[in-house]
Structure 1
Amino acid sequence: MQTSRSKKLSYRPINGAHAIVEVVFFVQFSPEFNQATRTKLASLEFDLKNDLPKAEQIKKVAFQFASGHHPSVQSSDEELLGVVLQGLKEDGSVEWMLRTTENTIAIHCLDYTTWAEVSTKAEGFLKKAFAHMGDSNSSLAVVGLKYVDKFICHDISDQPNLSELFKNDTPHVVKTAFYNDGLWHSNSGWFDKLDELQCLNQLNIDASFMDANENKPIEISIDHTVIAIIGNGNCSEPILELNLDFMSKLHLKNKKVLADLLTEDMQKRINLKP
C-alpha cells in the first residue's frame, strides 16, 4: 500500500523541492518620482555593481517634427524613467533584478532558495534604494509581494487528475477546470485586512502547454499578488513602514492561499507549512 509520501502524483513542482519560479517585492509611491529622485535611484547601479552588475537605464524619447512638405526631426528630448539592474547566473539567465519606474521600486528573485535568505537579500536592496531617494517628495503608498508557482504534468498520455493538485472544494479554482480536458484559466480578486490596512489579493491560475506542441507537458501556473495599501502620499518616513516583519505578513498570506488551493499530498511535496 502506497503512503501519501510515496504516491505518484499527476503533477510535480517545477523545481522539485518547491514550485516557485519568481518572487517580486515591490513598493509604489505617490506622487511619481521627480527627475532628481529618478536620477538618484539610477545611481544605484554603482552601489550594487557587485550584486547586480548588468545595468540599463530606461528612457523615454520625445521627438518634435518640423512641419512642411518634407517633415523632419527638429529636436528630441530624453527623459529618464528608471533603471534595470540584473545579476545573472552562469548560464546567462537572470537570478536577481532591481527595477525602478516613474513611481515603483521592484526586486525580482528568479532563483528562490528559502524565504529567510531571499527576503533578507531583497530587504537589503530595498533599503539601499530608499537611501538614494534623499529628500524626495514621494511617499510610500503601496507595498506588494508577488509569487509565481508552476506545476508540471509530464505524462499526458492519460488525462491528468487535477484533483491531485487542487482541493476539490477550493474556492479559488473555477469548478469546470476539474472536468475540462483542455486549457483553462481562473482569475479572481478580493480584499482582506492586514493589521489595519486594506489588502488586495489578485490570483490568476492558468493551464497551458509548455510550448506550441500539444504533446508537450501541461503547465499549471499560479500567480498570486498581495498588495497592502499604505496610504495616499501621507507617509513621511517610508523606510520605517517597510521591514522584514511586514513583508513576512504578506508572505504568510501567500502561504494561506496556497494551503487553500493545494491538496495535502502536494503541500507535503513542496514542504508547505501554512
Structure 2
Amino acid sequence: MASSPQNIKALFEPANKAHAIIEAVFFCEFHQPFERSVIDRLLTLEHDETVKADLPGFKRVEGGGIAFSAKDSAFAIQRTVDMEPVGVLLEHFQPNGTADWVVRVMPKVVSIHCLDYTTWSDVWERVQKYFNVVFQKITPSQTKVVGLGLKYIDHFKFNGQPEEYDPKLLFSPSSEFLHGKALTSSGYRWHCHSGWFETIDNAEPDRECLNQVNIDATGTSGGHLTKIEHSMVIQGFEADTEYLMVQSEVSDTALAKAMNYLHDSNKNVLRNLLTPEMIKRINL
C-alpha cells in the first residue's frame, strides 16, 4: 500500500532542503559564430585579475580536425584543419575543488551554469555580472542574439521501499504536462517528454517561448531518482548584446526582464506538475 501524503517528507526528498535544483543554466543563442576578433578579446580574460578573483579557472575551447570531401563515391581526406580557439571556459570552485559556477562561451552560445543554487535574487545578481564580463568582450560584434534561454534541472530522491513507490505522492494526477500512463505504469521507471510554444504577453509579434519538459524516473545504484528538466527559450530576437544590457525607464535590462519571465514560467510549470505538499516543501 502506498504511503499517505503526510509521509511525503520521508519518501520523496528534494535535492536540497529548500529546493530541488541541482543546476540552472542561463544562455544566449547567436545567429552565427563569433568573429576571430571577438575570440581574441575573450582570451584576454585569462589574464584579467578582476575576473580571475571570481572565476579563477580558465580554459580555451578549441575546434578543428579533419575536413573531408566526396570523391568517386568515397570519402577522401582533403586537408587537416589546425586546431584554433573557438571559445572559452571560466570556472569558480568550491573548497573541495568541484566547480559550482561555470561560464562557457562557444561559437554560437554563451551559457552560465549555476551548480550551487540558493535564491533567485542572489543567483541572478551573479549571473548578470558574468554576462556583463562576456558581453563587454563580445561587443562590438556582427553576430546578433536570436534566443534567450533558461534551463532548470530538479532532482527528487525516493527513499521508501519498492512496494511503497507511488509517483502520485510527488506529481499531481491532474497536471496538464503528464500523459495518461505516466503515473499508472508499473514499477518506478518511466518518462514523460513534452514540448510546446507559448505566446508571450506584451511582447513583439514574432516573439514566443519554446518550452521543453523532460521527466525521467529511473532506478540507480543509489536508489530511485526522478529528474525534471525544464528548458525555455525565447525566440524571435535579433538584438546585439548592448541592447540586452541597456537600462530601461524602470531600471531593468531587457535581459533581466526575459530571465525573470522564464523564472516565473518555470515556477508555474512546477506548480502544475507537483503535489501541494511538495510545492510547499520547496517554497513555490
Per-residue CA deviations over 1:159-215 (Å, capped at 9, x if unaligned) read 312111110010112221212214111111001122322110011100012x3x3xx
Asked if 1:17 corresponds to 2:18, the answer is: yes
The question of whether the paired residues in 2 share the 8 Å contact of 1:142 and 1:227 is answered with yes
Of the three residues 246, 249, 261, the one matched with 2:261 is 249
Structure 2 distance, partners of 1:244, 1:64, is 41
3-state DSSP of counterpart to 2:127:
helix
> Displacement, 1:37?
1.1
User: Matches of 1:50 and 1:142 in 2, distance apart?
Assistant: 30
Deviates more, 1:28-37 or 1:8-17: 8-17
Change (3 A) 1:18 1:8: closer
Q: TM-score, normalised by structure 1?
A: 0.86
Paired with 2:282 and 2:225, the residues of 1 have a C-alpha distance of: 16
1:265 corresponds to 2:277: yes
Q: 1:224 aligns with which of 219, 230, 236?
A: 230
| CA distance in 2: counterparts of 1:75 and 1:158, whole angstroms | 58
Partners of 1:202 and 1:226 within 8 A in 2: yes
Matching residue of 1:84? 89
- Report if the CA contact (8 A) 1:139-1:238 is conserved: no
* One-letter identity of the residue aligned with 1:49: K
1:188·1:202 contact (CA, 8 Å) conserved in 2? Answer: yes
User: Mapping of 1:1-274 within 5 angstroms?
Assistant: 8=9, 10-47=11-48, 48-62=51-65, 77-180=82-185, 181-194=187-200, 195-196=202-203, 197-209=207-219, 211=220, 213=221, 216-232=222-238, 237-240=243-246, 242-272=254-284
Tell whether the 8 Å contact from 1:27 to 1:142 is kept in structure 2 after alignment. yes
Output the amino acid matched with 1:60. G
Cα distance change of structure 1 residues 265 and 92 upon mapping to structure 2, 3 Å threshold: same
Residues 152/25 of structure 1: CA separation in 2 closer, same or farther (3 Å cut): same
Tell me which amino acid in the other structure corresponds to 1:231: F
C-alpha deviation, 1:94, in angstroms: 1.3
List per-residue Cα deviations over 1:75-100 (Å, max 9, x = no partner): 76222111111111112211100000
Structure 1 counterpart SS, 2:138: coil
Compare the two structures and name the one with the higher helix fraction.
Answer: 2
Instruction: Supply the AA of the counterpart residue of 1:58.
Output: V
Cα RMSD between the aligned structures?
A: 2.6
Counterpart-to-counterpart distance in 2, 1:187 and 1:132: 37
Q: Secondary structure at the match of 1:43?
A: helix
CA contact (8 A) 2:20 2:156 kept: yes
Could you report, residue by residue, the CA deviation over 1:6-37 in whole angstroms, capped at 9, with x for unpaired residues?
Answer: 76453110112210000011001122211111
What SS is found at the alignment partner of 1:132? helix
CA 1:123/1:64 → structure 2, altered by over 3 Å: closer, same or farther?
A: closer
Instruction: Kindly state the Cα deviation for residue 235 of structure 1 after the two structures are TM-superposed.
Output: 8.2
SS where residue 49 of structure 1 aligns? helix
Distance 1:29 1:169 in 2: 38
Distance in 2 separating the partners of 1:8 and 1:225: 27
CA contact (8 A) 2:135 2:241 kept: no
Per the alignment, in what secondary structure is the counterpart of residue 243 of structure 1? helix
Q: State the distance in 1 between where 2:274 and 2:8 align.
A: 15
The SS at the match of 2:92 is strand
- Secondary structure, counterpart of 1:258 in structure 2: helix
Please tell me whether the aligned partners of residues 139 and 236 of structure 1 are also in contact (alpha carbons under 8 angstroms): no
Deviates more, 1:95-104 or 1:165-174: 165-174
Aligned residues: 261
Identity %: 32
Distance between the aligned counterparts of 1:268 and 1:64, measured in 2?
55
SS of the counterpart of 2:95? coil
